[in-house]
Amino acid sequence: MPRFNTKIMSDYVHNKVVRLPFPNEIINRFKADDAYDCEPQLKELLGNLWDNKKSSFKLGRTDERIYIDWVYYSTYGEESGDFGNVRMLTQRELNTIKPYFDKLEIDYKDEDLRVVDYCYYNCCEAPDFYDIKTSDDAELFVNGA
């Protein structure tokens, strides 16, 4: 009886990531056409932090943008539901994760990093979870911006 690779079929994906919008600075530095053209250089910059089995950097594509994600939790087909939660990093989290993002050798603000916990059905692009919203769905402006 043939066995099917369940990763080929659509199912729910649940990820917990620290997310940074993909900076144009990287595209310009590597003279690339888009973010995915920069993957070899990102792998070189980040070494074993890229595609590590436990936690790793990956490019995250949503229906609106591309991100550099530090994926620290990921399941496929084990959980269900469509949701997304976004928050700022605590100072302790920033102290831990910032050295990893600094390896990208780009300018970014601490406020650009977000913790994103989301689950979606992967038959299409993931919904875009990055902006912080209030309960009435109005944008919350961080640091008075």
Domain edges within the chain: 12-137
Two structure tokens written together for 33 = 């056409």
Query: Which pLDDT does position 145 carry in this prediction?
Result: 36
Q: Reply yes or no on whether the pLDDT at 144 is more than 80.
A: no
Query: Which pLDDT does position 55 carry in this prediction?
Result: 87
Q: Which of 10, 9, 3, 35 is nearest to 106 (CA)?
A: 35
Q: Spell out the alpha helix ranges (H) of 10-82.
A: 24-29, 39-46
DSSP state of 143: G
**Distance separating alpha carbons of residues 21 and 69, to the nearest angstrom:** 9
Two structure tokens written together for 4 = 């099917």
Q: What percent of the chain has pLDDT over 90?
A: 68
pTM assigned to the model:
0.82
Two structure tokens written together for 36 = 């995915």
**Distance separating alpha carbons of residues 117 and 71, to the nearest angstrom:** 10
Q: Report pLDDT digits (tens) over 15-32.
A: 999 999 999 999 999 999
Q: Reply yes or no on whether the pLDDT at 106 is more than 80.
A: yes
Q: Which whole number is the average pLDDT over 133-143?
A: 52
Q: Reply yes or no on whether the pLDDT at 143 is more than 60.
A: no
Q: Which of 16, 122, 5 is nearest to 73 (CA)?
A: 16
Q: Which whole number is the average pLDDT over 47-68?
A: 90
